[in-house]
Structure 1
Amino acid sequence: MQLWNGWKPAVAPAARLDVLRVGLGACLALGLSAWLLQLPLSGTGVGHWALFAPLGATSVLVFAVHTGPLSQPWSCVVGNTVAALWALLVVACWPQSAPAWLLPAVAVGGAIACMQLTRSLHPPGGAVALLLALEAQHGVHHDWSYAFMPIGLLTLLLVLLAMAYHRAWGKHYPLQALPATASAKAQHLPADDLSQADLQALLARFDQDYNLTPQELGQLVRAAEEQAIARRFGSVSCGQVMTARPWTCSPGDGPAALAAQFQQHPIKSLPVVDGSGRLLGVVARGALFDWLWQQQQQDAGARRQQRSWRLWGKKPPAAATVTAAALMQDAPLSVEDSTPVSQLLEALAEHTVPFVAVLRQGQLAGLITRSDIMRILLH
């Protein structure tokens, strides 16, 4: 049963538009290449040029699997050329006493090794080496220039046509890192990024070195992370996880009332709301402590001034006081109660804020703290 499961299709079904795009691209590229070979090139020494069968396999890769590392321009052009050079070398140096049936095997095996050494592994390169070895067995011999023209040159032409064709369809070829979209950035959970060595080790662990590049794996990891976050938090709104009925203060509350609030409740800041429940700002506990410290430093001088006023028979001025309106600052972050929690993750990770105010129709409905976020993660 396990052996039979291995024969099931492993390639994902292609969309109809992709089927048309890939087939049309390969048809146009090979057709144009064949047409160029039919042009009158008398006197140029290229009358013996023709399409070679492995070029069809290269077209499959550059049009259907253009994001794979084996389909990139270096692998295509250098891989086919290096494989052809090795095969021509084997044919030229093959001793008469050696068995002829072994020639194709040595040509293909050595071509694979050469492509690996030049970091240009390209599956059609093995077909190039096999083709030249079989032609030599049937009396068709080529000189060294055949590896560059037409094999290298036609492969380069096919790659250039694929680059133009993919660009016309809005695709990226050769492979390049794609910038993250704004929505993806908003949902991304900043974590310790995996290094290139980590990504390469993961590819080697799952035997995917030749199927994905570290850049592609990194993009997949980030996309999977964003999708997981969106699925976990996308349906959860801030109104569902907020702490309702938070402790607040009025803009006219004095230091004693503010100090009593901070002493009674384990909080570091107080939202300031007006009579209609509209959020005006935030009073931090540190701001109140700073004001109290300054008042203590000024007490000694203030008492001396009061004694001087009394000696002259005048009424001393009233002591300075402060209200929540004077101590408050603007609320650092605020969201609507219908906002998905996923949109808060980036902001809470990048900014140190005591809480996020949750508004409903302009009025303060509740607060979201890091503890609320941690509670969601744990559940």
Structure 2
Amino acid sequence: MSGQSLSSSLAQLLGWRSDSTSHLEKLLSALGAFLGIALIYAVTHWLLPLDSALWVIASMGASAVLLFAVPHGLLSQPWAVLGGHSLSALVGVSCQLLWPGEFFTPALAVGLAILLMHYARCIHPPGGATALCAVVGGPAIEALGYGFVLSPVLLNVGVILLVAVLFNSLFPWRRYPASLARQPEPLRNTAALAPEDFYHALRQVDSYIDIAFDDLLEILQLAQEHAQTQTLQPADILLGGCYSNALPGSHWGVRQVIDAPGGARPRDQVIYKTVAGAGSGSTGVCKRHELASWAKHAVAAEADGWVRVAPGESAARAAAAQG
């Protein structure tokens, strides 16, 4: 095995990968974290004993990495930060009160915190550190009891979220939360995408994206395979069915047929309601064939998103939900 091949294999094993993020973006990440931790440090030391302040700053330092280096990551969004820290603090304090001084208490607190964050949909890795702080933070933190959740935890969460919103708002590509970031324009053509195109796009985004390049290509391949379905016909527009236009970003929308005559005549008038995406909540009227032209495929709501289904299944699910 050549030296280059060995180094490549070692890099892959260790998870090291190239980073196309610009120097400006890296400096902004560092500056934002500096400002966030500086303000937390000032507020915490003003209100709390020194021991408590030091422990919580350690936990918030981990959050600063996510909020300012990966501001658009799922683990960095406000509910992840707020829920992750507060729920983990509750778990940590509870474990310490129930099993003080036991050898398993720190591990149990972290494990239960992760479990609760999973079910509350607020996975935030620094939350594990917050749960641990509540158990091993010493007498100063133990004396706070459940007050630890309010101050310092929620106090510092509020401070760092405020800094993240204000600081990142100064730069359009970093606006936080992610829902405030600039939205992409709709695709203007259907040219096939190559790995080189994705690499170029990643460089243009100029923000750290927590996904490996190979995983991104695999997602593209799976999405393209899933997209190879027959286009909709007027007969596929059914009462109760939901239909997506499959456009990217803010132009995406889902319409549900709320009134339509029987049969499948293309020029039949149908009434629809936009149930997701652009114009959500609005209603409209069009011909059956016009909705078939607007829509790319039928969909159905599932968990936190929409999945592609056959038109008949979409209508059947809607009927079952109403029944």
Instruction: State the TM-score, normalizing by the size of structure 1.
Output: 0.44
- Report matched runs for 1:73-152 at 5 Å: 73-94=78-99, 100-136=102-138, 140-152=142-154
CA distance in 2, matches of 1:65, 1:179: 17
Per-residue deviation, 1:168? 0.6
> What does the per-residue CA deviation read over 1:309-355, in whole Å, with 9 as the maximum and x for residues that have no partner?
xxxxxxxxxxxxxxxxxxxxxxxxxxxxxxxxxxxxxxxx99xxxxx
Contact 1:82 / 1:114 at 8 angstroms: preserved in 2? yes
Aligned residue among 162, 172, 177 for 1:174: 177
CA distance in 2, matches of 1:69, 1:82: 17
Contact 1:87 / 1:132 at 8 angstroms: preserved in 2? yes
| Aligned partner letter, 2:162 | L
Aligned residue among 13, 16, 25 for 1:18: 25
CA distance in 1, matches of 2:71, 2:155: 19
Instruction: State the TM-score, normalizing by the size of structure 2.
Output: 0.51
| Map of 2:277 onto structure 1 | none
Contact 1:115 / 1:122 at 8 angstroms: preserved in 2? yes
Aligned residue among 45, 56, 70 for 2:61: 56
Classify 1:186/1:76 alpha carbon distance in 2 versus 1 (closer, same or farther; 3 Å).
Answer: same
Which consecutive unaligned segments of at least 5 residues does structure 2 have? 1-5, 192-209, 225-292, 295-323
Classify 1:33/1:4 alpha carbon distance in 2 versus 1 (closer, same or farther; 3 Å).
Answer: closer
Q: What percentage of residue pairs aligned between the two structures are identical?
A: 30
Classify 1:38/1:132 alpha carbon distance in 2 versus 1 (closer, same or farther; 3 Å).
Answer: closer
| Map of 2:246 onto structure 1 | none
| Map of 2:155 onto structure 1 | 153
- Report matched runs for 1:1-379 at 5 Å: 5-10=12-17, 12-39=19-46, 50=53, 52=56, 53-94=58-99, 100-136=102-138, 140-170=142-172, 171-176=174-179, 178-181=182-185, 184-188=186-190
Secondary structure of the structure 1 residue equivalent to 2:121: coil
CA distance in 2, matches of 1:71, 1:160: 13
Classify 1:185/1:27 alpha carbon distance in 2 versus 1 (closer, same or farther; 3 Å).
Answer: same
Contact 1:75 / 1:119 at 8 angstroms: preserved in 2? yes
Secondary structure of the structure 2 residue equivalent to 1:101: coil
Contact 2:135 / 2:142 at 8 angstroms: preserved in 1? no
Classify 1:24/1:186 alpha carbon distance in 2 versus 1 (closer, same or farther; 3 Å).
Answer: same
Contact 1:88 / 1:142 at 8 angstroms: preserved in 2? no
Per-residue deviation, 1:78? 1.2
Classify 1:167/1:127 alpha carbon distance in 2 versus 1 (closer, same or farther; 3 Å).
Answer: same
Secondary structure of the structure 1 residue equivalent to 2:169: helix
Classify 1:35/1:145 alpha carbon distance in 2 versus 1 (closer, same or farther; 3 Å).
Answer: same
What is the RMSD computed on CA atoms of the aligned residues?
A: 3.4
Contact 1:103 / 1:133 at 8 angstroms: preserved in 2? yes
CA distance in 1, matches of 2:116, 2:13: 30
| Aligned partner letter, 2:189 | Q
Classify 1:4/1:10 alpha carbon distance in 2 versus 1 (closer, same or farther; 3 Å).
Answer: closer
Classify 1:71/1:135 alpha carbon distance in 2 versus 1 (closer, same or farther; 3 Å).
Answer: same
CA distance in 1, matches of 2:141, 2:122: 29
Per-residue deviation, 1:140? 4.5
| Map of 1:274 onto structure 2 | none
Per-residue deviation, 1:102? 1.2
CA distance in 2, matches of 1:79, 1:14: 27
Per-residue deviation, 1:133? 1.6
CA distance in 2, matches of 1:33, 1:75: 19
Contact 1:91 / 1:136 at 8 angstroms: preserved in 2? no
Which consecutive unaligned segments of at least 5 residues does structure 1 have? 190-210, 226-348, 351-379
CA distance in 2, matches of 1:139, 1:175: 34
CA distance in 1, matches of 2:32, 2:175: 14
Contact 2:44 / 2:156 at 8 angstroms: preserved in 1? no
CA distance in 1, matches of 2:100, 2:24: 52
